[in-house]
Amino acid sequence: MRQNSLSSLFKESILSILLIMSVSSLFFSYNVSANQVVRFSHVAQQELQSHKRVTGTLKALTQTHIASAEAGVVIEVFVNEGDSVKLGQVLLQIDNRKMLAEKSRLEAELALAEAKYALTQAEFDLAEDDYIAYKHSANKNAISEQRLRQSKTAALSGQANVIAAHEAIKALKAQLNIAEVRLDDMSIKAPFNGQITQRVAEAGQWLGAGDNALTLTSQGKLEAWLDVPERFAHIMTSVPTKISLSIGDKMLNGFNIKVLRNVDVRARTFKVISQVESQGLMPGMSVEAWLPENTKSQYLTVPKDAIVQRGTSTLVYKVNQKDEKQIAEAIPVSVVFHQGNIAAVLSPMLKADDKVITEGNERLMPGPVMAVADEINTKAL
């Protein structure tokens, strides 16, 4: 009996220990999940050149509507929308049977003209030799003056026939070159590397000369075409070296900037064009930009990764110290402008050296967090 009692007591002790370990493990897991791990950086007070916000549209660096140079029936279209093509690749074929027949006719006429040229050259050589011989004979009074003149006329006529035959060959060669160009134009080729973004022509369709057949758009670099109100003309007295662009949720730097110094009389805007790497972007997307002004002022700045969009609200998450806990608090802000990797913001609830979350804030909810320092450089570029 005593052994059974000890055995039961031992089993109960083991079960109690396992239960305590399970509860401790669950409690520890709950604490870890409750305290969300995030990274933070500090709010800074900086003197920056203020920027003006403008909007625009992304355009392909090169886009063309490929037209047919020759009229004819489309035999075959070799590409569809979305296909990537290379420079010189055949995209569409127009019926060229009549032009092939015309080329064959011209080649036959050229061969005939070359034979005629050889004949006229031989006749001229003979007439010229006769004239030289008659001229020597005339010096010895062996032939009459009339016969000498006839011989000279025959030589000059032969020379003219040679010139005419030679020019006829040149004319036929020119016609043959035109026929070859027209034949080549009936195979519509890609003028540059890119993607087919629109297909208009179909097999069996009649294309007139100049009719649009396909649209080809280059890939890679894009251009941001910004509409700048004319009242900002004074800030564009010098062309900036780079512009901060916002496209969807992406922040990019524009480069190779050009200012078209001509105001649209209807829209009262002028164009600023900036190249940008595509990075998954597409022509036609809307773009926002911040153009620098001439004056500098003091601004509160945060890393751009601290900015979170929640519907129509723009927020940053501030880390507050409460007792020994770190608490994330959502702070509404107004973005004044972007510059490089930072954003100038306005908020009465932020001050310099406040901690704002830069990583882990996409789905963060206000509450306890475990915040560690981030290495983001918040200085203006």
pLDDT of residue 14: 52
pLDDT at 3 over 50: no
Angle at the Cα of 96 from the Cα atoms of 92 and 100, rounded to 5 degrees: 140
pLDDT of residue 8: 56
Distance set, CA 16 to CA 7, 11, 29, 227 (Å): 14, 9, 20, 74
Instruction: Count CB neighbours of 102 within 10 A.
Output: 17
Give per-residue pLDDT as tens, 41-62: 999 999 887 777 889 999 998 8
d(CA 69, CA 211): 8
Q: Residue 361 — left, alpha, or beta (φ > 0 → left; ψ -120 to 50 → alpha)?
A: alpha
Higher pLDDT, 138 or 316: 316
- Contacts of the segment 92-95: beta carbons below 8 A, 24+ positions apart: 92/68, 92/187, 92/188, 92/201, 92/213, 92/214, 93/186, 93/187, 93/188, 94/68, 94/70, 94/186, 94/187, 94/188, 94/207, 95/186
Tokens at 371, concatenated: 């915040």
Instruction: Work out the mean pLDDT of the chain and round it to a whole number.
Output: 84
**Average pLDDT of the segment spanning 203-214:** 94
pLDDT of residue 1: 46
pLDDT at 195 over 60: yes
Identify which of 254, 344, 336 has the alpha carbon closest to the alpha carbon of residue 306: 344
**Cross-strand partners of 250:** 247
Structural domain boundaries of the chain?
A: 36-60+220-373, 65-94+187-219, 96-185
Percentage with pLDDT > 90 across the chain: 44
Tokens at 356, concatenated: 């704002």
**Average pLDDT of the segment spanning 332-340:** 86
Please provide the CATH number assigned to the domain covering 36-60+220-373: 2.40.420.20
Distance set, CA 14 to CA 19, 23, 28, 105, 319 (Å): 9, 14, 21, 106, 44
pLDDT at 21 over 60: no
Distance set, CA 229 to CA 12, 219, 254, 263 (Å): 82, 30, 19, 9
**Helix H or strand E encompassing 345:** strand 342-346
Rounding to the nearest 10 degrees, give the CA dihedral for residues 256, 259, 260, 266: 130
Identify which of 293, 311, 292, 290 has the alpha carbon closest to the alpha carbon of residue 247: 290
Lowest mean pLDDT among 71-75, 139-143, 199-203, 327-331: 139-143
Choosing among 1.20.140, 1.10.8, 1.10.287, 1.10.472, the CATH entry for 96-185 is 1.10.287
Identify which of 245, 244, 337 has the alpha carbon closest to the alpha carbon of residue 295: 337
d(CA 352, CA 364): 23
Lowest mean pLDDT among 127-131, 184-188, 248-252, 293-297: 293-297
**Average pLDDT of the segment spanning 339-363:** 88
215 φ, ψ (degrees, to nearest 5): -115, 125
**Average pLDDT of the segment spanning 119-146:** 80
Tokens at 332, concatenated: 């509404």
pLDDT of residue 166: 93
Report pTM. 0.58
pLDDT of residue 47: 86
Integer-rounded Cα Rg, in Å, for the chain is: 42
pLDDT of residue 294: 63
d(CA 375, CA 358): 10
Give per-residue pLDDT as tens, 23-37: 444 333 334 345 678
Give per-residue pLDDT as tens, 262-317: 999 999 999 999 998 877 888 889 998 887 776 788 899 999 889 998 888 899 99
Looking at CATH, the fold of the domain delimited by 65-94+187-219 is given as OB fold (Dihydrolipoamide Acetyltransferase, E2P) (2.40.50)
CB-based contact 88:187 (threshold 8 Å): no
**Average pLDDT of the segment spanning 139-163:** 82
DSSP assignment of 104-134: HHHHHHHHHHHHHHHHHHHHHHHHHHHHHHH
d(CA 264, CA 334): 31
Tokens at 177, concatenated: 């070159």
